Structure 1
Amino acid sequence: RTYMRVGGRVRWLLEPATPAELALAWTAARERGFTPRILGGGCNLIIEDGLLEGVVIATDRLKRCFRPTLGGADLDANEDEARIAPAAPAADPRLIAWAGVTLQSLVQTTTALGLSGFECLAGVPGQLGGGIAMNAGGRYGEMWDSVELVRVLEPDGSMRDLPRAECAPRYRNGGLGERVVLGAVLRLKPSTTAEVRERAKQYLIEKRAVQPVTEWSAGCVFKNPDPAKSNGCSAGKLVELCGLKGRTRGDAIVSPLHGNFVINRGAATAADVLALIEEVRATVAEKTGVTLENEVKVWRGEPG
Structure 2
Amino acid sequence: LYQFRPDSRQLVIEEDVQTITLYVQRLYGFRSNRSSISYKTWPGTAQPDRDFTSVADGQLLFDSRQTSSAIRLSILDDSLTEPDEDFYVNLTSVRVLSASLPSIEAQPRIVSQNSVAKVTIRANDVVSGFLSIGPAIIRVSEDSQEGAPQQKLALRVRRSLGLTGVVSAKIRAYAGLKTPEVDAAQFHREHNGTWALEGEDFELETQTVMLLEGQNEVEVSVLILNDQEPEGQEAFFIYLRQAEGGAQIVSVPDELGFTSFAKIIILGENLTVITGLNNKDFFCPIDI
Pick the TM interval, shorter chain: under 0.3
Q: Under a length normalisation based on structure 1, what TM-score does the superposition of the two structures give? A: 0.24
Highest Rg: 1 or 2?
2
Q: Under a length normalisation based on structure 2, what TM-score does the superposition of the two structures give? A: 0.25
* Greater helix share, structure number: 1
